[in-house]
Amino acid sequence: MKRRRFLASLPAAALDAQPAQGGELVLWYNAPSKLWTDALPLGNGRLGAMVFGGVSSERLQLNEDTLWSGFPKIWNNPKAKDHLAEIRRLVLEAEDYAAADKLCAKMQGPYNQSYQPLADLRLEFSGLPAPSGYRRDLDLDTAIASVSFSGHRRETFVSAPDQVIVTRITAPAGSLNFTIAIDSPVRSASTTEGGDTLVLRGKAPAHVDPNYYRTPNPIRYDDTEGMGMRFEARAKVLAEGGAVKADAGKLRVEGARAATILISAATGFRGFKRVPDLSAEAISAAARKHLDAAARQPYNALKARHIADHQRLFRRVSLDLGKPVSELPTGERLKAFKAQPDPQLLALYFQYGRYLLIASSRPGTQPANLQGIWNESVRPPWSSNWTTNINAQMNYWPAETCNLAECHEPLFDLIEGLAENGRNTAEFNYGLKGWVCHHNTDLWRQTAPVGDYGKGSPTWANWNMAAPWFCAHLWEHFLFSRDTEFLIHRAYPVMKGAAEFCLGLLVPDKQGRLTTCPSFSTENVFITPDGKTAAASAGCTMDLALVREIFTNTIEAASLLGVDAEFSQQLSTALSKLAPYQTGARGQLQEWSKDFKEREPGHRHMSHMYPLYPGSEFTVRGTPQWAQAARRSLELRLEAGGAYTGWSRAWSIAFWARLEEGTKAHEGLAKLLELSTGPNLFDTHPAGQGWIFQIDGNFGAAAAIAEMLLQSHAGEIHLLPALPPQWPTGSVKGLRARGSIEIDIAWSAGKAISAELRPSKTGPVSLRAPRNQRIKAVLAGTSPFSLSPRPGGSIEARLLAGRKYRLEFS
Ligand code: FUC
């Protein structure tokens, strides 16, 4: 059914699509990648490939998104809640925060598991001509990575419709000679089958400790059934001309004109609640099914279907940030950015963020983890898990605004799983109803605090506010789509559970106001009045913000659906008693309920500013005093060296966008490219002397760029709210605003010249023109449309679904 739809919808152009030879949507290089972090990523949400582009050796590093260590287990700590009353006494009465930290550690469970690499496919070529004119590239518009030199050409893509990785190799004059081998850093063995297929079978470890946790035996394999997950990868070679032979565990292609390699993979994952494994036969059958079906297709049909499927998502948004267009290879462009204007590099970075989301998160797959789906290591940084105190959420910041709402779906599936497991943790750790999730989770949807029963720092391990933060994604998806079915069946039940937990968590402070305790400002610590360092306190600003938000949204959702009036009343009463936000001695938005001295004033986390972004409680016009206080906090953080990781920088850019400071936002983007971006435009995170890849900054910065061009969080659609002077002329097409509206905007000399709105739901909107401009007319087709001006400069209009509206400005 799905396949038929794709075939029918193939645009003629897709069939002839040729890889781009440069231009605005291509990352390109004139040398092979030396490191994994130079290679180019491809993916279909489930299968991932990093293409190295070597001359005589090619490496495709492969991933499958359900291949994780471990299995579901009991991770709730039955003794956890025994400590809660004493922790609260220590914080709220004794104000002995350091002692509270020690007890918090006793509420922890085990560390969670690690995302695993699948395999490496290795090609060794012989008899190649001397390489001249070498080039490798990744065309974001076709999602094809190519390598070419001296008439030799390879192109690789990962097809979503056909669920295979495809590499095609062509060479002049029938001269292709190469071997293919497959191996994996995970325990496994490879064989050949039928003379043209390589098969790798393995089993993931039963346990992998996080890379930051020092233990004598961090990777533990176990042959017992279910103690770890089986997997299989298959690679089949179809040669044109010449011959393919199995030879000492490898395949050898000799004298071919061209060859196509198809790769498929499957694992024994049966869902987060079930112990793996499927039988080896069932896994093999799943991997074979896709491979055999793909092998019956001509290469061009696979390629055309892949391109059409990708472009259906990718081409919804285009961004042109004006001239000049650099001719340099991408790595050099990146280095030159500081000295030489190159606005289109930021357009490329933005589109790369959208590309990476399409490649790592599709309906039915796992959500994008810390590295999307690309990981070469058995002990990847921070387990390549979902870190839920910013990173997992940041991955999805661009999903709605950048018109990839269906790529948001895997996150909703994750949230529903957490809501299920999190009920037990709420009961075990706090004796509460509803659901809770702490700061890390994995394929098995662990919701308990990590830390190996007391060895983790409570600063991060005991933070317990992932549930309300995740629920913001469900609510936002509703605001963007106005999909009531989604609200009824998926969002509301989960939101209600998170609100129930938060309601139960609230306790009175000394002034009788409701607060959270213990409370952690994500990963940050303060200096106690007696000079100690501590993490646990009560009512951190972020907790208050998340509680306010989940209560407010749940009340609104319940009222829209006409349900749970009594529960809503309880939430409203609690809201009216909630401890307030405060400003500190420096005019900053206070991070903790007391104006504690910070241990690290330039800390990368800035969670107290949540209500500015991604929340929407603080707005420049609606709550100017809080917008100003948040701005002061941001300035203080940046002055003290903050935003030193890619994701933190991306967050700071989004803050500046929400503060409508285009120049500052652009400064942040320039720093992001200079300090936190690798040659393949992967976002980086400092690690010891070097850096590692972490994908959140890619997504966060793409979302921030969208936020510079269009905002719709403050009850109005604001066009070009933070356009920087570096982008005087340009256009954006296909961004999305809340209310289910697609929007195009064109500007010149820093002023909007036209815009188009395409609502898919009927409803009222308020529209705000860019600073110092006015909306002169709204035209539906050719007929003028009546406008009602509103105090404060925005105008109101009622838009009808399916119509197009053109805006003119003065
Ligand atoms: C949190 C952050 C780190 C890193 C890690 C994955 O611990 O504080 O900077 O992003 O998650």
Q: Whose CA is nearest to atom 8 of ligand 1?
A: 523
Distance 259 CA to ligand 1 centre (A): 43
User: What pLDDT does 810 receive?
Assistant: 87
Provide residues with CB under 6 Å of ligand 1: 370, 382, 387, 391, 460, 523, 604, 645, 647, 685, 694
Distance 765 CA to ligand 1 centre (A): 38
SS (H, E, C) 616-642: CCCCCCCCHHHHHHHHHHHHHHHHCCC
Which ligand 1 atom is nearest residue 460's CA?
7
Query: What CA–CA distance (Å, rounded) separates 557 from 746?
Result: 35
Which ligand 1 atom is nearest residue 645's CA?
9
Which ligand 1 atom is nearest residue 648's CA?
9
Distance 635 CA to ligand 1 centre (A): 21
Which ligand 1 atom is nearest residue 647's CA?
10
Cβ-contact 69, 62 below 8 angstroms: no
211, 375, 379, 523, best to mutate for ligand 1 pocket (most atoms within 8 Å of CB): 523
382, 462, 684, 698, best to mutate for ligand 1 pocket (most atoms within 8 Å of CB): 382
Q: Whose CA is nearest to atom 1 of ligand 1?
A: 387
111, 387, 603, 645, best to mutate for ligand 1 pocket (most atoms within 8 Å of CB): 387
Sequence-ordered alpha helix ranges (H) in 299-342: 299-314, 330-336
User: What pLDDT does 172 receive?
Assistant: 81
Distance 390 CA to ligand 1 centre (A): 8
Distance 456 CA to ligand 1 centre (A): 14
User: What pLDDT does 15 receive?
Assistant: 30
Distance 698 CA to ligand 1 centre (A): 15
Q: Whose CA is nearest to atom 11 of ligand 1?
A: 387
User: What pLDDT does 712 receive?
Assistant: 98
Strands 533-534, 526-527: pairing kind? antiparallel
Query: What CA–CA distance (Å, rounded) separates 736 from 734?
Result: 6
Strand order in 318-320's β-sheet? 318-320, 730-737, 741-748, 751-759, 805-809, 775-780, 783-785
Handedness of CA 30, 31, 36, 41 (dihedral sign): positive
- Residues lower than pLDDT 70 in the chain: 1-23, 782-792
Query: What CA–CA distance (Å, rounded) separates 384 from 371?
Result: 6
Contacts of 753 (CB under 8 A, 6+ apart): 746, 747, 809
Structure tokens at 290: 């896709």
What are the beta bridge partners of residue 231?
202, 267
Distance 717 CA to ligand 1 centre (A): 33
Distance 596 CA to ligand 1 centre (A): 23
Cβ-contact 387, 370 below 8 angstroms: yes
Query: What CA–CA distance (Å, rounded) separates 158 from 166?
Result: 6
User: What pLDDT does 130 receive?
Assistant: 87
pLDDT digits (tens, 9 = 90+) for 762-791: 999 999 999 999 998 888 876 666 666 666
User: What pLDDT does 13 receive?
Assistant: 33
Give the position of tokens 């907790």. Answer: 543
**Which among 458, 542, 511 is positioned nearest to 92, based on CA atoms?**
511
115, 211, 386, 391, best to mutate for ligand 1 pocket (most atoms within 8 Å of CB): 391
Distance 202 CA to ligand 1 centre (A): 30
Q: What is the 8-class DSSP label of residue 491?
A: I
Distance 106 CA to ligand 1 centre (A): 22
Which ligand 1 atom is nearest residue 523's CA?
8
385, 694, 696, 699, best to mutate for ligand 1 pocket (most atoms within 8 Å of CB): 694
User: What pLDDT does 372 receive?
Assistant: 98
What is the reported pTM? 0.96
Q: Whose CA is nearest to atom 10 of ligand 1?
A: 391
Distance 242 CA to ligand 1 centre (A): 51
User: What pLDDT does 24 receive?
Assistant: 83
Query: What CA–CA distance (Å, rounded) separates 382 from 392?
Result: 12
Distance 365 CA to ligand 1 centre (A): 23
Distance 744 CA to ligand 1 centre (A): 35
pLDDT digits (tens, 9 = 90+) for 721-751: 999 999 999 999 999 999 999 999 999 999 9
Report phi then psi at 25, rounded to 5.
-115, 25
Distance 174 CA to ligand 1 centre (A): 50
